[in-house]
Amino acid sequence: MRRRALLGAGGWLAAAVLTTLACIWAVSLIGTDMAGQAVRIMPLDEVERVLATSSAAPPAAPPAATGPQAVTGAFSYAEGAVTAACEEGRALLLSWTPAPGYGVEEVERGPAATASVVFESDDRTAVISLTCPAGKPVAALRSAAEPDED
């Protein structure tokens, strides 16, 4: 009986040690990503600085459109970039990327006679509208300053 009690206590002790080691190892992973590299939280001013220096160019290759007869086009403006497709005379937004300092306010993706995206910053609003008058995407930009809220 004494031997059974010692084995039980030893097993419990081994399980407790293994659990403790596993917890210590798991806690040591906090602060590293899955590849084992340290993760650093960036302050807001550093994030804004990085975003201000990055480019807002459209994707290098526009994504494939939905159908075999679709025609695509990429358009880039100071406020942001869009990639669109035309199929059967209807516009479809494939992708949209706001420029640094802008965010996406509203998207009418289509397919429709007119697809559009609204990019907005603290002081400007830009609407990019896309149509397909001759089977090819055509973009129009309407940009305006935000009214002061005084």
- What is the tally of structural domains in the chain? 2
First-residue to last-residue Cα distance in the chain: 85
Q: Of residues 34 and 87, which shows the higher confidence score?
A: 87
Instruction: For residue range 57-88, list pLDDT tens digits in order.
Output: 444 444 444 555 678 999 999 899 999 999 88
Q: Of residues 30 and 113, which shows the higher confidence score?
A: 113
> What is each CA distance from 114 to 84, 89, 90, 106, 143, in whole angstroms?
11, 10, 7, 14, 17
Q: Of residues 79 and 28, which shows the higher confidence score?
A: 79
pLDDT at 35: 52
What residue numbers bound the domain in which 13 lies? Answer: 2-40
pTM given for the model: 0.53
pLDDT at 147: 63
Q: Of residues 99 and 6, which shows the higher confidence score?
A: 99
Q: Are residues 22 and 71 in the same domain?
A: no
For the chain, give the mean pLDDT: 78
Q: Are residues 76 and 25 in the same domain?
A: no
Q: Alpha-carbon distance 97 to 1, whole Å?
A: 73
Strand partners, 91: 86, 112
In a domain, 150, yes or no: no
pLDDT at 92: 92
Q: Are residues 131 and 90 in the same domain?
A: yes
Structure tokens belonging to residue 145: 């300053």
pLDDT at 90: 92
Q: Are residues 82 and 13 in the same domain?
A: no
Q: Are residues 36 and 102 in the same domain?
A: no
pLDDT at 54: 54
pLDDT at 42: 66
Angle at 104 between CA 101 and CA 109, to 5 degrees: 150
Task: Output the furthest CA–CA distance in the chain (Å, rounded).
Answer: 92
Q: Is the dihedral of CA 121, 60, 40, 27 positive or negative?
A: positive
